[in-house]
Amino acid sequence: MAHGAPWTLCAMPQRSCLTPLGEVTVSEEDGAIVALDWGRGRDQDRTPLLEEAVRQLQDYFDGQRRSFDLPLAPHGTPFQRRVWAALQAIPLGETRSYGDLARLLGSAARAIGQANGSNPIPILIPCHRVLASGGALGGYSGGEGPVTKRWLLDHERRLCAKMPSTSAQAELPLGPDGAGLPGTMSR
């Protein structure tokens, strides 16, 4: 008796959406996003999580979203997951070098690059925000390669100019009594 490959027996729900970079497909497993692939997926499911992921991606590409609020569960080694967590800490509109991340994580830049290139959830885990030494663009394994990376970085710079961060308001000094600005706190 012939058996199918394991992934054909239990297909993950997936949903595609059109972006300025072409179609992308998000995949869900156990209530979390586990992949974002370039191109149209074979299956098209409408789970609440996939619909929310598509909505957030469309908002991002429409210039209405600065960050994503989705449960992510990328499959990878513990080291890869540490690298991917560090990628998520890079603010929109900013970049880091492979060397910066290597110093942060106590690793080699080459290992960071390999983990970055293995990121199964690009855009949502922003591997495009990592540059080579000296600010060179470096490689990118998604979409049309470096052209896609440059487009994403330019898009985020435009987004930052259009939608200034609201985090500056949270960093306002509270003053000597810690009460905040007048009228913002009752005693």
CB 150 within 8 A of CB 156: no
User: Of 10, 17, 127, 160, which one is the catalytic site residue?
Assistant: 127
Catalytic status, residue 17: no
Q: Is 134 exposed, middle or buried (0-12, 13-18, 19+ CB in 10 A)?
A: exposed
Beta bridge partners of 72: 33
Structure tokens at 60: 């991002």
Structure tokens at 40: 């149209």
Contacts of 79-84 spanning 24+ positions with Cβ under 8 A: 79/107, 79/111, 79/115, 80/115, 80/118, 80/119, 83/107, 83/112, 83/115, 83/116, 84/115, 84/119, 84/121, 84/125, 84/127
Structure tokens at 165: 């961060």
Cα–Cα–Cα angle for 162, 134, 77, rounded to 5 degrees: 85
Active site residues: 127
